[in-house]
Amino acid sequence: MIFFSDMDGTLLTSDKRITPETWAALDAIHDAGMQFVPCTARAFNGVPAELLAHPSVRYVVASNGASVVDLQTQAQIHAVHLTRQHVLDIYQVARGYRDITFDIFSNGACYSERARYDRLAEFAGELSTLESLQSNRTPYDEPCEKFIAEHDDFERITIYWKNERDAAELKAVYSQDPTLAIVRSAPNNIELSDPAATKGGALTWLCGHLGIDVADSVAFGDNINDISMIEAAGCGVAMKNAEPEDIAAANLVADYNDRNGVAKVIMEKLGR
């Protein structure tokens, strides 16, 4: 058996902590000779160092499945990228909107124009969310087009929005492009990537890479970007705090993320 889990809203509490009960569940996975794979919308460098150091964790799925990293070799072993031109086209649509962010995920990190980075508090509902957004983004000062021209290996784009009208207009334009996938990991964001870059696709790829039957995988999630993973896994688990679409796709519903839902299911699966 192999376990895959989303982080924010799933493995982590609402204030972005890993509880002692969850650490105990990860210890139990390691003791059973199994693996735990964090699967996150965050860039690779946004995964907590203490989680990366846990012996049950060897692989990380980052940027909604656009990147799979082997911690033992520190190598990206699977990638699905957007082209530079694609990112430029996405930016040309968004550049006229003042009340949005434009976050570029590239080479395992997330970058934000400083003027937009400085306004992150306007898009975060809670202090823990703001601290997470700030700590997982690196601001840059040059024009966005110049930044894009100087970088490569684009994993995805995230846009946080304040006004529903802006969100509707942006989604209406982006949805016309069949080479773009649109999901979200928060009520007020839009996440854009190659259609092949999904958590479910990464789960299936990694199971194949490791020679593990997908039927022997368990996956936990709570938001729209987790649905593909919940559907792909042998046992897809939605949190009680999950979106209705996740619950509809799941084989099982776990307790809330703030009540150790992931840990409880892991212990049950391990007979502990």
The pTM assigned to this predicted structure is 0.93
Place of tokens 């839902």: 261
What is the rounded average pLDDT of the residues 81-90? 97
pLDDT tens by residue, 114-158: 999 999 999 998 888 899 999 999 999 999 999 999 999 999 999
- Residue 215 in 3-state DSSP? helix
Query: What is the pLDDT, as a whole number, of residue 189?
Result: 96
pLDDT score at 113:
96
CATH architecture, domain 84-193: 2-Layer Sandwich (3.30)
**Residue among 156, 66, 154, 146 nearest 113 (CA):** 146
Cβ-in-10-Å burial (0-12, 13-18, 19+) of 155 comes to buried
Is pLDDT at 82 greater than 90 in this prediction? yes
Q: Are 91 and 144 in contact (CB under 8 A)?
A: yes
What per-residue confidence (pLDDT) applies to 272? 85
pLDDT digits (tens, 9 = 90+) for 171-206: 999 999 999 999 999 999 999 999 999 999 999 999
Q: Which residues make up the CATH 3.40.50.1000 domain(s) of the chain?
A: 2-80+197-269
Return mean pLDDT, the chain. Answer: 97
Tokens 């042998």 correspond to 234
How high is the pLDDT of residue 126?
84
The sign of the CA dihedral 195, 200, 204, 210 is positive
State the first-to-last Cα distance of the chain, in angstroms, to the nearest integer.
Answer: 15
- How confident is the model over 211-230, as a mean pLDDT? 98
The mean pLDDT value for 29-38 works out to: 98
Q: Count of CB atoms within 10 A of residue 151's CB?
A: 16
pLDDT at 7 over 90: yes
Residue 50 pLDDT > 90: yes
> What pLDDT sits at residue 208?
98
- Is residue 240 helix, strand or coil? coil
Parts of the chain belonging to CATH 3.30.1240.10: 84-193
Superfamily of domain 2-80+197-269: HAD superfamily/HAD-like (3.40.50.1000)
pLDDT for res 234: 98
